[in-house]
Amino acid sequence: MNQLEQLKQHTTVVADTGDFQSIQAFTPQDATTNPSLILKAVQKDTYSTLLEQAVRDHGGQSTGAIIDRLLVAFGREILKIVPGRVSTEVDARLSFDVEASIAKGRELIALYEAAGVSRERVLIKIASTWEGIQAARVLEQEGIHCNLTLLFSLPQAIACAEAGVQLISPFVGRIYDWYKQKTGTDYQGADDPGVQSVRRIYAYYRKFGYQTEVMGASFRNTSQIVELAGCDLLTISPELLQKLAQSDAPVARKLSPDAARSESIEKINLDEKTFRFLLNEDAMATEKLAEGIRQFCVDARKLEEMVEALRR
């Protein structure tokens, strides 16, 4: 078996793309999207028709409402290919607004359900700010499952689990980027700080019986992926899926519930003040969370500009 086939024996493989053709090629279980991926996709002739149709069919609505329709259109197309779930992201500009994030999550699910897609097949993606996590707590209680993204630290992961969030997306590659820039070290294998962060979160969840799923994300190379074989899910770009499919090097399981439960881990009690202090103490997590939100906001504005240009 190639590495991708081996990995699927240990971990649920998820495609991290808005490119339907790539998804079909690698037969993942689920797929994730974000504003940057959707922006990238609609600039291709293959997918620009989805943007044009959203504007044509809903031109009388606000620009934000048209973009919501576009996101759901991509999600619906993806769900025709994958047997599992698709993640659709709440506007990053709402990352510090609990009520607005809740309202947007409800709106997106309502659009999916109106199109005949059950809420069980959709994850609402929200940034792992304190406010985002509290919004997810409310949505989960309503049966709207969430994927908490831009997650760079154990305190974020603990707060998500205690809020009853369905799934988290700890960002391996962006953690690696930060440490590489600071130290000049090209981390390899198990020494990679991004890999270590996900392993720590996975072990904490299994040790203390949390049901929240861990989905490693944002990979820079296949070594990071192979080191996390056994993680609940891994969301992987088409480029790295291709590299895994082209290699027959062995993939051994590195994470398992039994091994995690045997680790010596101290439980952390979190309230809002503790969360904010611990996150502030972690320079990498603080910087990468802020940077990630800013970048998604930039891409959301670019999408709006494309919609507005088509409406003229």
Q: Are 14 and 273 in contact (CB under 8 A)?
A: no
Point out which residues pair with 216 in neighbouring strands. Answer: 234
| CA gap 131, 78 in Å, rounded | 29
Amino acid symbol at 244: L
**What number of other Cβ atoms are within 10 A of residue 59's Cβ?**
11
CB-neighbour burial class of residue 299 (10 A; exposed 0-12, middle 13-18, buried 19+): middle
| CA gap 155, 162 in Å, rounded | 11
| CA gap 239, 254 in Å, rounded | 23
Catalytic residues: 125
Angle made by CA atoms 130, 136, 142, in degrees to the nearest 5? 150
3-state DSSP assignment of residue 262:
coil
| CA gap 121, 282 in Å, rounded | 34
H or E element at residue 102:
helix 98-114
